[in-house]
């Protein structure tokens, strides 16, 4: 260690308390710092690209609340809209004009969906989309990919067993085997496995769900050609294709991965960015498909806080900013420059280290493989190096999500100076990691 560790006395004390209140001291598992050194940092405030912890340490933040904060922390437009709307009450359980306003912003600028339903999380959006696909097709089985995350609903907490095409095995205790038996799991980027699954379960698969830009288990970029194959095989089999765009939606462009690849899925799910930092999820499809949802259709789905006015306000304010001309071009150019500088540095040093990137998403991989496209390509042993890097970066005021399987995000609030500081910290950290 060439630098003293940052002080974490206050965070550590808060964590001790939290452990008496919450399982593992947290309300979502990955926050527990199980895969990196130290105890979780308790965050006190955020502004722009920076966050401050309970001990007063300041960081440039690349976790960005796991993706929602594409404008950075405490954005003035979002904050002002939210505080304005809050003055009039925070929940009615009755429709408000704000729901129409957010729907108009989205539907008016997205050619892939005609109707939408707001829910309160990505998990809920995906769970509802699966039910809709089952209700529409009158089939039960779904197919997912190893290395994609779709929230924590029962049918989707399922991982691959052994073999090319497998029934899933539950990846959490408490998920009935009968649920896992309805979920088929195959590897990403594998046409043969997909083809076999459709042969073996002919006429039974309601939906295929994929993160078109898989970003929850590293960044496993798929080829356009593979995604087109997936679209075609679904069409040929009367199976609905669900793009889970909870991360990629409004991230790689306002219309997400569907527009990026020019592929029309049957159902889309959104979350994260859509709520401007407040809890919002959504799913959408053609009007014909969406009208299978209650109260017009027979597929039931509801929510006490769905379309909550304060959350709608945050979404409206954030998405309005994203629609300004040049927003994504600027963000993507900034990210590309940042990533290239790191790629050039590691190439010159000859380090076994790659940076995958798309839009304003990046992922650090300790490997010399250039195109990592499947979960099996990731060597779990490489995560010890990430753990060292994470520690060095924390000590240099750079905050990444506390796991090497997590991607990083660049927001509109990251300044050139932030990115210069970060590059230097990354170069110094990598030199230490590769020397030890």
Q: Does 220 bind ligand PLP (CB under 6 A)?
A: no
Residue with tokens 């779904």: 142
Q: Does 122 bind ligand PLP (CB under 6 A)?
A: yes
Contact 387, 404 (CB under 8 A): yes
141 is catalytic: no
Q: Does 123 bind ligand PLP (CB under 6 A)?
A: yes
Among 42-50, 122-130, 161-169, 379-387, the segment contacting ligand PLP (CB under 6 A): 122-130
How far, in Å, are 145, 159, 160, 162, 176 from residue 170 at the CA level? 14, 6, 9, 13, 8
272 is catalytic: yes
Comparison of 187 and 248: residue with beta carbon closer to ligand PLP:
248
Q: Does 150 bind ligand PLP (CB under 6 A)?
A: yes
Q: CB of 321: closest distance to ligand PLP in angstroms?
A: 21
Kindly state the helix (H) or strand (E) to which residue 165 belongs, with its residue range: none
Q: Catalytic one among 15, 136, 149, 270? A: 149
Comparison of 151 and 276: residue with beta carbon closer to ligand PLP:
151
149 is catalytic: yes
Among 144-152, 309-317, 318-326, 344-352, the segment contacting ligand PLP (CB under 6 A): 144-152
Comparison of 48 and 307: residue with beta carbon closer to ligand PLP:
307
Contact 54, 10 (CB under 8 A): yes
Report how many residues bind ligand PLP under the rule CB under 6 A: 14
Contact 29, 406 (CB under 8 A): no
**Contact residue for ligand PLP among 149, 198, 250, 254 (CB under 6 A):** 149
Contacts by 338-346, CB closer than 8 A, 24 or more apart: 338/362, 338/410, 338/419, 338/422, 338/423, 341/423, 342/423, 342/426, 342/427, 345/423, 345/426, 345/427, 345/430, 346/430
- Nearest-CB residue for ligand PLP: 122
Contact 277, 109 (CB under 8 A): no
| Exposed / middle / buried, residue 386 (Cβ in 10 Å: 0-12, 13-18, 19+) | buried
Under rule CB under 6 A, which residues in 241-260 are in contact with ligand PLP? 244, 246-247
Kindly state the helix (H) or strand (E) to which residue 266 belongs, with its residue range: none
Q: Catalytic one among 244, 266, 270, 418? A: 244
* φ/ψ (deg, to 5) at 170: -65, 140
Contact 186, 146 (CB under 8 A): yes
**Contact residue for ligand PLP among 64, 85, 103, 126 (CB under 6 A):** 126
Under rule CB under 6 A, which residues in 159-218 are in contact with ligand PLP? 211, 216
Where does this chain bind ligand PLP (CB under 6 A)? 121-123, 126, 149-151, 211, 216, 244, 246-247, 271, 281
Q: Which residues are catalytic?
A: 149, 244, 272
């Amino acid at each position: 260690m060439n630098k003293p560790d940052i002080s974490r006395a206050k965070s550590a004390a808060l964590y001790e308390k939290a452990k008496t209140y919450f399982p593992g001291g947290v309300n979502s598992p990955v926050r527990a710092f199980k895969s990196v050194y130290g105890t979780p940092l308790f965050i006190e405030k955020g502004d722009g690209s920076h966050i401050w912890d309970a001990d007063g340490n300041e960081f440039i933040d690349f976790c960005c609340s796991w993706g929602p904060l594409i404008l950075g922390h405490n954005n003035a437009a979002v904050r002002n809209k939210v505080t304005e709307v809050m003055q009039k009450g925070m929940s009615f359980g009755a429709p408000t004009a704000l729901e129409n306003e957010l729907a108009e912003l989205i539907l008016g600028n997205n050619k892939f969906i005609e109707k939408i339903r707001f829910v309160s999380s990505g998990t809920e959006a995906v769970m509802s989309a699966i039910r809709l696909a089952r209700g529409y097709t009158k089939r039960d089985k779904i197919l997912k990919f190893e290395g994609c995350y779709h929230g924590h609903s029962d049918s989707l907490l399922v991982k691959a067993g052994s073999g090319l095409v497998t029934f899933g095995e539950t990846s959490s205790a408490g998920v009935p085997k009968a649920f896992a038996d309805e979920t088929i799991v195959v590897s990403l980027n594998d046409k043969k496995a997909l083809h076999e699954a459709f042969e073996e379960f002919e006429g039974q698969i309601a939906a295929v769900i994929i993160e078109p830009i898989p970003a929850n288990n590293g960044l496993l970029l798929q080829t356009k050609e593979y995604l087109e194959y997936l679209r075609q095989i679904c069409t040929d089999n009367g199976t609905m294709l669900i793009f889970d765009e909870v991360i990629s939606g409004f991230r790689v462009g306002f219309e997400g991965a569907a527009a990026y690849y020019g592929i029309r899925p049957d159902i889309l799910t959104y979350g994260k960015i859509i709520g401007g930092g407040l809890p919002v999820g959504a799913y959408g499809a053609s009007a014909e498909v969406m009208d299978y949802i209650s109260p017009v259709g027979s597929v039931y789905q509801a929510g006490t806080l769905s379309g909550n006015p304060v959350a709608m306000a945050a979404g409206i304010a954030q998405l309005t900013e994203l629609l300004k001309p040049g927003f994504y071009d600027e963000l993507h150019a900034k990210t590309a420059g940042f990533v290239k500088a790191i790629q050039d540095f590691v190439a010159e040093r000859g380090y076994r280290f790659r940076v995958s990137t798309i839009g304003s998403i990046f992922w650090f991989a300790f490997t010399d493989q250039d195109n990592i496209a499947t979960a099996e390509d990731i060597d779990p042993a490489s995560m010890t190096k990430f753990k060292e890097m994470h520690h060095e970066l924390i000590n240099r005021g750079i905050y990444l999500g506390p796991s090497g399987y997590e991607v990083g995000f660049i927001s509109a609030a990251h300044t050139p100076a932030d990115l210069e500081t970060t590059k230097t910290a990354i170069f110094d950290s990598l030199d230490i990691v590769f020397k030890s």
